Amino acid sequence: MTVSSISRRTLMKGTALLLASTALARQALAQTAQTTPSGGRLIVAADSEPKNLNPAIVASNGVFFVASKVIEPLAEASFDGKDGLSPRLATSWEGAADGLSVTFKLRDGVTWHDGKPFTSVDVAFSALNIWKPLQNLGRLVFANLEAVDTPDDYTAIFRFSKPTPFQLIRNALPVVTSVVAKHIFDGTDIATNPANNTLIGTGPFKFAEHKPGEYYRLTRNENYWDKEQPKLDEIIFRVLPDREAAGAALEAEEIQLAAFSAVPLADLDRISKVAGIKVISKGYEALTYQLVVEINHRRKELSDLRVRQAIAQAIDKKFVVDTIFLGYAAASTGPVPKNAPEFYTPDVAAYSFDPAAANDILDKAGYKQGPDGNRFTLKLRPAPYFNETRQFGDYLRQALAVIGINAEIVNADAAAHQKAVYTDHDFDLAVGPPVFRGDPAISTTILVQSGTPAGVPFSNQGGYVNPELDKIIKQASETIDTTARTDLYRKFQQLVVADLPLINVAEWGFITVARDSVLNVSDNPRWAVSNWGDTALQS
């Protein structure tokens, strides 16, 4: 697939189109499964080295990218499985009608990489001792989890103190249910256990070694429960923090795959024409990133809805999509992306690009321009994680200047940026890239819900409070009827867009670039952070 064929369409495709094409692909894979080559070493670009590699504690894409091959969840996202899921350590899941329990049937015959058997005790330990109290997302999903019954080795019954929507639990399974071994973590300080970075799991690959600044090495698990997997003997994640280096390494055949747009978008047109290289846009549908303008409502001017509306009208979303993302994105309408049809509604307020109207709003609101043309000055902090967030920060500064707002950019590394925005509240505007993970309760409502303590990253640290919005968020967290819960989240979108606690600008997926020799790439909606058990190399 060439880059030109991708860029004529948005990455935010509806799931219906994906299901049709993927069903055919699955049929073809089933026919060729016995002939897929085995063996070989896959060398992959990695742009970071997480301080904690345990996905049961840190549910983030940087961690999952490596750890998901070693540590398994109860279920994984799927293009064509029931409820959009495929079984992993759980073979089935069923929620009680009253929302007070969920029963998981677990896979028999699974062993940990150290040879000990996997049982329901490991699931109960992970849920009660890690997901609920420690994990960044699990503490939301399992807030009302009070017990996990284990009537036998292969049944785990989650019991909740308040009705908990099965829809939420189901949608969250791939992200929040990475299972770790009780015998490795029990009786230790879980947060500092060395096993957080020398992983022991049940997955198709074993953790072999990490050489800081150079690579992670994973090796084949000969005793994996799926006897047809893994296909590869070894995966090497080569640390290449410079995105320009990933493209050069692919061309030189020093690596065979670069995920998460490790090859800069500006280079895709050229590299797609290189013999032996393919550019793939699928495989990120369950990992939609959202470009947002975070707003500190403690600032008098920004607590005024009219100012927020003027800022929204000063942003040319089409320009952002076409110029910063080179067409590999879509303009946002609100806090739920278009490729989440279970919850998305287009029935929200719209703020068209209209700098003249924005200027008029500010004039009428009493924010007059001074002799230098400026109405007031704001501190703008673009997130440093992606080129696109930094570039949007530069664009936003220019867009705000057109309406008489002087934005002074303050750049910082990731640690300093997170501390300034989410702990110290030392910002007026910030550019953030939160991730939509399939359900608004996971990493979306937290962006606007009040009461989140300082220091929680990627949360509402702008001091915004809206009792009506908080009430809807709470109702949705306890509504077990799927239709009613979905309706609440549509009202949620309407309220957010009307009151603009933040401004949603664009939503995007990523691009994978690989050598033609890499087989079975992007065959699920979280492929880059899934187990790669069927990924293979053509010799």
The CATH number that applies at residue 39 is 3.40.190.10
Give the model's pLDDT for residue 16: 35
Clarify whether residues 220 and 153 are in a common domain. Answer: no
The CATH number that applies at residue 124 is 3.90.76.10
Clarify whether residues 370 and 447 are in a common domain. Answer: yes
Clarify whether residues 251 and 399 are in a common domain. Answer: no
Within-domain flag for 360: yes
Clarify whether residues 347 and 490 are in a common domain. Answer: yes
Within-domain flag for 218: yes
Within-domain flag for 25: yes
Candidates 144, 140, 168, 150; CA nearest to 103 is: 150
The CATH number that applies at residue 498 is 3.10.105.10
Number of domains in the chain: 3
Q: Which of 143, 168, 190 is the last residue of a domain?
A: 190
Clarify whether residues 390 and 504 are in a common domain. Answer: yes
Q: Order of strands across the sheet with 234-239? A: 205-211, 215-220, 234-239, 41-46, 257-258, 512-515, 277-280
The whole-angstrom separation of Cα 510 and Cα 317 is 19
Structure token pair of residue 81: 């499985």
Clarify whether residues 298 and 309 are in a common domain. Answer: yes
Within-domain flag for 62: no
Q: Which helix (H) or strand (E) is 217 found in, with range?
A: strand 215-220
Q: Domain limits at 115?
A: 75-190
Give the model's pLDDT for residue 414: 84
Within-domain flag for 372: yes
3-state SS of the chain: helix, strand, coil percent to 5? 35, 20, 45
Clarify whether residues 121 and 240 are in a common domain. Answer: no
Exposure letters 120-143 (e unless 16+ CB within 10 A, then b): bbbbbbbbbbbbbeebbbbebbbe
Clarify whether residues 373 and 501 are in a common domain. Answer: yes
Clarify whether residues 136 and 21 are in a common domain. Answer: no
**Tokens 């929680």, residue located:** 456
pLDDT truncated to tens, each residue of the chain (539 aa)?
Answer: 333 333 333 333 333 333 334 444 444 444 445 567 989 999 999 988 988 999 999 898 999 999 999 999 999 999 988 889 999 999 999 999 999 999 999 999 999 999 999 999 999 999 999 999 999 889 889 999 999 999 999 999 999 999 999 999 999 999 999 999 999 999 999 999 999 999 999 999 999 999 999 999 999 999 999 999 999 999 999 999 887 889 999 999 999 999 998 998 889 989 999 999 999 989 998 999 999 999 999 999 999 999 999 999 999 999 999 999 999 999 999 999 998 999 999 999 999 999 999 999 999 999 999 999 999 999 999 999 888 999 999 999 999 999 999 999 999 998 899 999 999 999 999 999 999 988 999 879 999 999 988 988 889 999 999 999 999 999 998 899 999 999 999 999 999 999 999 999 999 989 999 999 999 999 999 999 999 999 999 97
The whole-angstrom separation of Cα 76 and Cα 525 is 9
List Cβ neighbours of 107 (8 Å cut-off, separation of 6 or more). Answer: 87, 88, 89, 90, 91, 118, 154, 225
Clarify whether residues 391 and 437 are in a common domain. Answer: yes
Give the model's pLDDT for residue 24: 41
Clarify whether residues 245 and 146 are in a common domain. Answer: no
Within-domain flag for 46: yes
Clarify whether residues 16 and 80 are in a common domain. Answer: no
Exposure letters 15-51 (e unless 16+ CB within 10 A, then b): beebeeebeebeeeeeeeeeebeeebebbbbbbbbbe
Q: Judging by beta carbons within 10 Å of its beta carbon (0-12, 13-18, 19+), is residue 366 exposed, middle or buried?
A: exposed
Within-domain flag for 485: yes
Within-domain flag for 67: no
The whole-angstrom separation of Cα 298 and Cα 295 is 9
Which whole-number Å values give the CA distances from 532 to 60, 126, 400, in the listed order?
Answer: 17, 23, 44
